[in-house]
Amino acid sequence: MSLRPSSQILIGELGTDFIDAKLKELSYDHSSNIVHLKYGDINNNANDKSITFRGCFSVSINKWLEGVEGVIPQKSDEMDFFFQEILIEDVVINAIQLYKCSMLIPMMDCRITCISIELN
């Protein structure tokens, strides 16, 4: 049985490469309770990184259009989103150790509570 890394260890492994990185993929599979996201340089895919959240008990993803002028995007790929901050906390709910992750992405609110987080 492997030890569960603390949120501080995960934050250390995550580093700061995500700051101002483009969010390239964000998907939630409710049947497997997995959220997958990929981010990286806006012009290059060579160094893209991904985060997989497993055993998600709570997933909240909201986008808004405050400040958007002109044509309203019809699809997600018509609008770019960039990370500003990723916060990970250790929480205990009903005696289960979980991670609570909040991502600061202008024009998007993303909050996930899950059992494990994999950084790739």
The model's pLDDT over 98-116, given as tens digits with 9 standing for 90+, comes to 999 999 998 889 999 999 9
In this prediction, residue 25 carries a pLDDT of 93
Residue 67 φ/ψ region, left for φ over 0, alpha for ψ in the -120 to 50 degree band, beta for the rest: left
Mean pLDDT computed over 21-47: 93
Who contacts 40 (Cβ-Cβ below 8 Å, separation ≥6)? 21, 22, 24, 47, 48, 49
Q: Residue 34 CA to chain centroid, in angstroms?
A: 11
**According to the model, what pLDDT value does residue 1 have?**
45
Alpha-carbon distance of 87 to 74, in angstroms, equals 29
Amino acid (1-letter code) at residue 38: K
Q: What is the per-residue pLDDT across 50-95, written as a single tens digit (0 to 9) for each? A: 999 999 999 999 887 666 666 666 666 667 889 999 999 999 999 9
